Amino acid sequence: MKWLEEGKKAALATVINKQGSALRGVGSKMAVSSEMEMVGSVSGGCIEGAVVQEALKVMNSGKIFIVDYGISDDEAWSVGLACGGQVKILIQPVKPNSRSGFSLEILKKIIELKSSDKSFCFLTKISEMAKGDSVIISDGELVLPKTRPHWMDNTLIEILNNLERTETSGIIKHGTCEIFADFSFPKQRIVIIGAVHIAQPLVKMARVCGFLTIIIDPRRAFALSERFQEADQLLVMWPTEALAKIGLNDRDYLIALSHDDKLDLPALKMAIERNTCYIGMLSSLKTRENRFEQLKGGGFSPYDLRKIHAPVGLDIGARSPEEIALSILAEITAFRYGEN
C-alpha cells in the first residue's frame, strides 16, 4: 500500500506449485515495486532477482504472468536455483484504477481480513479465458467482486471447502479452468501453562515463527508483564478459567510447563476434552507416568493420553532454557507439518 501511495507501481509474486527441494512452499510471496524494492521471498534467495525482472514487465503490461524455474530449466540454473527443486511463480500486477483482476480494492480487502484474523481464500484464474480474474471468499461467502464470475460454480465451491479443511493452497483443475486457490488462516496460538523461565525464550521464538502466544499462570510473582513483554496475552488466572476465557480449541497448541499438578493437570484435561491440536508436557519420565495414572483415574483412556507429547521437545541434548525452548518449538514445527 505504501508503494502505491507514493505513486509507484507494484506486483505480487506467489509460489503456486513446488516440487522437490525448493525452499519456499506454495503460497510464499514476494512484493515488488517499480523501483525494484522487495518484501518477502519466493525461494531461498536463488531466483528473486529474476522474478523482479519479470515483475517489472508485468507492471508495464498489466497482465499476469506465470514463470517456471527448475532443474531442467537453463535459465533457472543461470539465476542460481541449484537446490534441485522446481517452482511455478504467479506474478500479478496491482491495478490501482481497476475493478477487475488484482485490484486495489482486492488488496485493501485482503489487508482488512488479515488484520481481523479472519480465514479467507484468494482465487486467481490462471487459464486463458478470463485469465487474471481475482475473487475473495470468506466463511463460504463471496466477498469481492460483488457478482460471482461464470467459472465459479457450486462444484468449485465444494472443492474449495475440502481444501480449506486441510488448509491446502494450490492449483485447482476444474473442467477447462485452472485456478490458484490461496488460503489464509488466523495465526495459530501457543498456550503456555506456567510463567516459568523456559516460557520466556519460547514466547520469543514462537512469535518469530508466526504464532500468537498466551501465558497462563495464577502466581503473580511469576506472571509479571516485565518478564513477558513479547507475549500476546498474559493471564494471571487459574488454567481452567483462563482456557475457557480464551476459547481453547482444536487449532491451538498447549504446553504445560509449570511442574505443578494443580496447574498442569486441569489444563491437560481440558486440552484433551477440547481435542487441542497439540498437547505438550514438560516432565521427567517418572512425573509423566504419575500424571498419566492420575489422568486415567479421571476417566481418560490410553488413547487420550497418546495425544500428550511428554517429555515435550525433540531430543537434541538441550540443557539451557533457551535450548529446551528450541527443542519444544522444533517438535511443534515437525508436528505442524506432519513430520512427527
CATH number of the domain at 286, please. Answer: 3.40.50.720
Instruction: Name the residue with higher pLDDT: 96 or 58.
Output: 58
Q: What is the pLDDT of residues 139-177, one digit of tens each?
A: 878 898 888 888 888 888 888 888 887 778 999 998 888
Residues 152 and 193 in one domain: no
Asked if 193 and 329 sit in the same domain, the reply is yes
- Cell 521471498 belongs to 41
Can you give the residue range of the structural domain that contains 48? 2-184
- Inform me whether the pLDDT recorded for 74 exceeds 70: no
The residue among 157, 184, 211 that closes a domain is 184
DSSP lists the bridge partners of residue 29 as 14
pTM: 0.70
Q: What is d(CA 102, CA 12) in angstroms, rounded to the nearest whole number?
A: 9
Task: Render pLDDT for 304-336 as a digit per residue (tens, 0 to 9).
Answer: 999 999 999 999 999 999 999 999 999 999 998
Of 126-130, 268-272, 293-297, 309-313, minimum mean pLDDT range: 126-130
Distance, CA of 287 to CA of 313 (rounded, Å): 16
The answer, yes or no, to whether residue 217 has pLDDT greater than 70, is yes
In a shared domain, residues 171 and 222: no
> Is residue 153 domain-shared with residue 12, that is, in the same domain?
yes
Considering the domain architecture, whether residues 179 and 212 belong to the same structural domain is answered as no
Same domain flag for 198 and 328 = yes
Are residue 155 and residue 221 in the same domain, yes or no? no
* Of 299 and 164, the one with more pLDDT: 299
Average model confidence (pLDDT) across the chain: 89
Question: Average of pLDDT values for 75-103?
Answer: 73
- C-alpha distances (whole Å) from 120 to each of 26, 44, 110, 146, 322 are 16, 27, 8, 16, 35
CB 48 within 8 A of CB 41: yes
**Strand positions, DSSP E, 20-119:** 29-33, 38-40, 65-69, 86-93
Same domain, 195 and 154: no
